[in-house]
Amino acid sequence: MKPDQTLEIIALADLVEKARVVQAQGGRLVQICATALPSEFELTYSFDFGGRLASFRVQVPRDHPRVPSIGSVYACAFLYENEMHDLFNLSVEGMTVDFHGKLYNTAIKYAFGETKAPPAKPQPAAAAAQPN
């Protein structure tokens, strides 16, 4: 099954205005997905229009990881935006509800911000076979 969905790349500066337009058209915020790429962060904002999914993507440079909040348009965006901050170390400017890094109590700070998995811990030498 091929889902009915579209993806449009937009400029970071147009993000909030785009959210406003989508909201006026009755779009429901479905998700915000952040992806850490080697040179940038890719943020995908998806909206539902009665079953059809429209996504908008912005690219955020790694050396300036700042993105405006769409919380003024979509009240529920604060959760996704706090998640982006806590897991990816992205600064979301103007969040309507800011947990200041306290939403996720993860053991590793900004665990999703890097593109490569941390090196695996060395395994202890194989133990002698245990009887069942």
Question: Is 66 in contact with 91 (CB distance < 8 Å)?
Answer: yes
Q: Any contact of residue 25 with another protein (CB under 8 A)? A: no
Rounded CA-CA distance 67/56 in Å is: 14
Comparing CB distances to another protein, the nearer of 15 and 78 is 78
Q: Any contact of residue 24 with another protein (CB under 8 A)? A: no
Contacting range for another protein; rule: CB under 8 A; set: 11-19, 22-30, 62-70, 124-132: 22-30
Q: Any contact of residue 79 with another protein (CB under 8 A)? A: yes
Which position among 5, 17, 25, 64 is part of the footprint of another protein (CB under 8 A)?
5
Comparing CB distances to another protein, the nearer of 38 and 131 is 38
Which position among 9, 94, 108, 109 is part of the footprint of another protein (CB under 8 A)?
108
Half-sphere CA count of 3, side-chain side, radius 13 A:
9
Q: How far is the CB of 84 from another protein (least distance, A)?
A: 11
Rounded CA-CA distance 113/36 in Å is: 6
55, two tokens: 């996504």
Half-sphere CA count of 117, side-chain side, radius 13 A:
3
130, two tokens: 């245990």
Question: Is 117 in contact with 65 (CB distance < 8 Å)?
Answer: no
The footprint of another protein (CB under 8 A) covers: 1-5, 28-31, 33-35, 44, 46, 48, 50-51, 53, 55, 74-76, 78-79, 86, 99, 102-106, 108, 111-112, 116-117, 120
